[in-house]
Amino acid sequence: MSSLDRLESGSLKGLLEALLLVSDDSVPATDLARATGAAPGEVASALAELAAEYADANRGFQLREVAGGWRLFTHPAYHDQVADYVVSWDARRLSQAALETLAVIAYHQPVTREGVRAIRGVNSDGVIASLREKGLVREVGRDRERGQAVLWGTTRLFLERFGLRSVRDLPPLEDFAPDEESRRFIRERLSGRSMASTLEEAAEDMDEERDLLGDEAEDGCVVPERADAAGEPPAAGEER
Angle at 68 between CA 12 and CA 161, to 5 degrees: 105
pLDDT recorded at residue 174 = 65
DSSP 123-170: B-HHHHHHHHHTTSEEEEEEEGGGTTEEEEEE-HHHHHHTT-SSGGGS
pLDDT recorded at residue 224 = 39
pTM for the model stands at: 0.47
Q: Tell me how far apart the alpha carbons of residues 137 and 135 are, in angstroms, rounded to a whole number.
A: 6
**116: burial class by Cβ within 10 Å (0-12, 13-18, 19+)?**
buried
CA 79 to chain CA centroid, Å, is 19
Q: How many CA atoms lie within 13 A of 229 on its CB side?
A: 1
Q: Do the first three CATH levels of 12-81 and 93-215 match, i.e. the same topology?
A: yes
- CATH of segment(s) 93-215: 1.10.10.10
Strands (E), the chain: 61-66, 69-74, 137-143, 149-154
Short-list 173, 160, 9, CA closest to 72: 160
Q: Answer whether CATH 3.40.50.720 is correct for domain 12-81.
A: no
Q: Decide: helix, strand or coil at residue 238.
A: strand
Domain ranges of the chain: 12-81, 93-215
Which residues partner with 139 through β-bridges?
152
> What is the CB neighbour count within 10 angstroms for residue 50?
21
User: Which sign, positive or negative, has the C-alpha torsion 85, 89, 92, 98?
Assistant: negative
Question: How would you write the pLDDT of the chain (240 residues) with one tens digit per residue?
Answer: 445 666 665 689 999 999 999 887 889 999 999 999 999 999 999 999 999 999 999 999 999 998 889 999 989 898 888 777 654 454 457 788 888 899 999 988 999 998 898 888 888 888 998 899 888 999 999 988 888 889 999 999 898 888 888 888 888 766 666 667 766 666 666 555 444 444 455 455 555 555 555 554 455 444 334 334 334 444 445 554
